[in-house]
């Protein structure tokens, strides 16, 4: 190897990584300085931001109290650092802390929790909807599932859903492997329930759940019960009856928490129908009364318009088809977007505004049929559509007449995975409803 080649090799081996590291440090310094608000004449607190990207998180985790004492001695009662992926100012001292605590919701806000009755809404609503779906759709009695057993089913369902779109590689620890293992846990519990139904002559509790009706329909057509098909159908019922409904119910809490005027209009409608009286005076909910709650139904529709639980649907082109001047070849995947269709629909004006009144006036059927499709459409419209609408209306009624609430992090950032949910799980502070509107 010649001298020039050795020099080039040395440069690549030692100098280039060093230059990249120095560049990263410089960019990190620029990033740290760029966080300063130019409209404020005051400087940032003293302190250091640590390593690029990692900040000083490792030092704090490993040294803990020693690290904090060293920082306090060096920089005083207010200093900057970079912890857990975010630039941070650490504050101590009675007067400094007083300024922060008295600035709640004016100067600062809680990110992951707060003093007082705080609830992470999304996981709690998911558990509630899961229990309802297990009871009404599959006929599971509360005594059949211990808290641990119920939690195991919830976790198995979440694991299965997380891995719905994994690569088709079935090896240990792959997404597909974990998803199939979770599905097997769910199927085992469902099969146990199906066999118990087959052994009974009459449904337990005097009513027939959706799974029981499905079994009777199959037998009434002279068909043999196929255990695998029943388990798949029951799993689909659970998915439609709990994951998507939990997403919609969480969005309802978010929108009503952000739009108190809408919540008050819901309460006025409940008051007119005798549903907002004292505990012993409230009219009982029934299907006829629920049908009369037109504005409440519009609130649910507007929630589903702005935040549909499922962002779209998947299909496969059975043959080459033409669409709006383009071809979609046979065998290609086709995704129809629910959220984008709502966004571009000419039927809706001021699309970014949460306005349930837009649904109070009937729209021409031809123009609105596929402009508003939170449950899909065509032959494969969501099988749980009516169940979801009734459940969400009951949920809204009980929520509006039971409590007031405040979103601790303000408007949530929503993510799809594959169901729409709030990234921060929607931490919320609930208080009892005074009954005054």
The answer on whether 382 is annotated among ligand-binding residues is yes
| Token duo for residue 183 | 């599905």
Provide the pairing of β-strand 403-407 with 321-323: unpaired
Question: If you write DSSP's letter for every residue of 385-429 in order, what string do you get?
Answer: HHHHHHHHHHHHHHHHTTEEEEETTSSPPEEESSSEEETT--EEE
Residue owning tokens 């709502």: 342
Residue ranges in 65-209 assigned as alpha helix (H): 65-75, 94-101, 121-136, 147-162, 175-199
Q: Are 88 and 216 spatial neighbours (Cβ–Cβ below 8 Å)?
A: no
Q: Are 392 and 300 spatial neighbours (Cβ–Cβ below 8 Å)?
A: yes
Distances (CA, A) of 231 to 183, 187, 215, 239, 340: 10, 6, 11, 12, 33
Cα–Cα distance, 49 to 52 (Å, whole number): 8
Residue ranges in 318-383 assigned as alpha helix (H): 338-344, 365-368
- Supply φ then ψ for residue 86, to 5 degrees: -135, 140
Cα–Cα distance, 239 to 140 (Å, whole number): 15
Residue owning tokens 């297990």: 134
Question: How far is C-alpha 175 from the geometric centre of its chain's CA atoms?
Answer: 20
Residue owning tokens 């349930």: 356
Cα–Cα distance, 289 to 273 (Å, whole number): 8
Question: Is the four-CA dihedral 271, 272, 275, 277 of positive or negative sign?
Answer: positive
Cα–Cα distance, 318 to 330 (Å, whole number): 5
- Going by the annotation, the residues of the binding site are 382
- Going by the annotation, the residues of the binding site for heme are 382
């Amino acid at each position: 190897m010649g001298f020039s080649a050795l020099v080039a090799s040395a440069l690549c081996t030692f100098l280039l990584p060093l230059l990249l590291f120095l560049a990263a440090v410089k960019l990190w310094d620029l990033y740290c300085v760029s966080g300063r608000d130019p409209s404020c004449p005051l400087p940032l607190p003293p302190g250091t931001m640590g390593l690029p990207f990692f900040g000083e998180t490792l030092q704090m985790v490993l040294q803990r109290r020693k690290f904090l004492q060293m920082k306090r001695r060096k920089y005083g009662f207010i200093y900057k650092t970079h912890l857990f992926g975010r630039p941070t100012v650490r504050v101590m001292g009675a007067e400094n802390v007083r300024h922060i605590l008295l600035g709640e919701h004016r100067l600062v806000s809680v990110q992951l929790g707060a003093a007082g009755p705080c609830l992470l809404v999304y996981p709690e609503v998911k558990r509630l909807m899961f229990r309802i779906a297990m009871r009404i759709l599959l006929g599971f009695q509360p005594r059949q599932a211990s808290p641990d057993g119920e939690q195991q089913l919830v976790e198995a369902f979440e694991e299965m859903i997380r891995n719905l779109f994994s690569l088709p590689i079935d090896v240990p620890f792959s997404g597909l492997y974990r998803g199939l293992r979770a599905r097997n846990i769910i199927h085992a519990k469902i099969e146990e329930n199906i066999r118990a139904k087959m052994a009974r002559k009459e449904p337990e509790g005097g009513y027939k759940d959706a799974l029981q009706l499905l079994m009777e329909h199959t037998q009434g057509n002279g068909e043999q019960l196929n255990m695998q098909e029943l388990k798949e159908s029951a799993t689909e019922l659970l998915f439609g009856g709990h994951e998507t409904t939990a997403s919609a119910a969480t969005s309802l809490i978010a929108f009503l928490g952000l739009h108190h005027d809408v919540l008050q209009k819901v309460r006025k409608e409940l008051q007119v129908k005798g549903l907002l009286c004292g505990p012993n005076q409230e009219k009982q909910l029934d299907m006829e009364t629920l049908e009369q709650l037109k504005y409440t139904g519009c609130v649910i529709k507007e929630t589903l318009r702005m935040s549909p639980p499922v962002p779209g649907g998947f299909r496969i082109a059975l043959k080459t088809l033409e669409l709006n001047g383009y071809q979609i070849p046979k065998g290609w995947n086709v995704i129809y977007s629910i959220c984008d269709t709502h966004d571009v629909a000419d039927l809706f004006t001021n699309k970014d505004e949460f306005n349930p009144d837009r649904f109070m006036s009937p729209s021409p059927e031809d123009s609105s049929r596929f402009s508003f499709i939170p449950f899909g459409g065509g032959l494969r419209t969501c099988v749980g559509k009516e169940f979801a609408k009734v459940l969400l209306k009951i949920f809204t009624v009980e929520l509006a007449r039971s409590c007031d609430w405040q979103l601790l992090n303000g408007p949530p950032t929503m993510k799809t995975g594959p169901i729409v949910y709030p990234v921060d799980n929607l931490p919320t502070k609930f208080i009892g409803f005074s009954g005054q509107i």
